Structure 1
Amino acid sequence: MSLSELPSPVWPVLVLLVTQAGDAVMMLRPPKFIVDCLEGVRFPRDWWWALTTAKLASVAGLLAGLWVPGVAMTTTAAIVVYFLAAAVAHLRARALNSAFWINCLGMLLLSLAVLVVSFVRL
């Protein structure tokens, strides 16, 4: 097993990029389900800007990584870690509602799938 420094196929990375971009845009004026999610895990409102910044940085990393070796792979791995941390926050807060099962774990599975499909070579 080895790792590819450029994504192949590219389309899963593009799906993750669009998803992260949409998530970042929603953070500018969070809809109720995002507010409920962040409040459910007791994430301080004063720090919500940091999540927006992280999501925008992931979009930039995925985009740059289409041409710069290793960047998209590293960014995708960072997104996996981000959603692992989010899952732990949900578990610790016992916030196991639909936001956890659909949004958090869904994004964790999507980012893991992108990492495996686009970067792992058997």
Structure 2
Amino acid sequence: MLAAALLFDVVASIQPPKFIQDCLDGVGLPRDWWWALIVIKNLATVGLTVGIWEPGIAFAANVGIVVYFIAAAAAHIRARFTGQSFWVNCLGMLTLSFAVLIFSFL
């Protein structure tokens, strides 16, 4: 489920719709760095998928995703960009990734 959500995010981020553009601009991420988020999320998706056969890889990918969304939440708070995209998208994905980590590995 988490891999599917991240894959959807990767595909959507290739030609980001306005709400993604507004979010990234709102936290002050330079447009020259937007490609890095696609790479990070794509690697996480691959790690979770490979992790079906190699649980250690899935665990590492899942921890990385949790850290990624903690950093995203911190960026939102630091930029005082705490509108709907923060509560729904950022904290929603943080909650999902943390829940998958808890239920999958503890």
Indicate the TM-score class for this superposition, using the shorter chain for normalisation. Answer: over 0.9
Q: State the Cα RMSD in Å.
A: 0.5
Superposition pairs for residues 29-48 of structure 1, below 5 Å? 29-48=15-34
Runs of 4+ in structure 1 deviating by more than 3 angstroms, as ranges, are: none
Task: List gaps (5 residues or longer) in structure 1.
Answer: 1-14
TM-superposed deviation, 1:31: 0.6
Task: List gaps (5 residues or longer) in structure 2.
Answer: none
**Aligned-partner Cα distance in 1 for 2:36–2:3:** 18
Alignment counterpart, residue 99 of structure 1, candidates 85, 88, 98 = 85
**Aligned-partner Cα distance in 2 for 1:48–1:110:** 22
Q: How many residues align?
A: 106
Q: What are the superposed Cα offsets for residues 10-45 of structure 1, whole Å, 9 maximum, x if unpaired? A: xxxxx0000000000011000111000000000000
- Normalized per residue, the structure richer in helix is 2
Q: Percent identity between the aligned chains?
A: 54
TM-score (norm. length: structure 1): 0.86
- Which amino acid is 2:45 matched to? V
Higher Rg: 1
Greater RCO between the two (CA within 8 Å, min separation 6)? 1
The aligned counterpart of 1:28 is 14
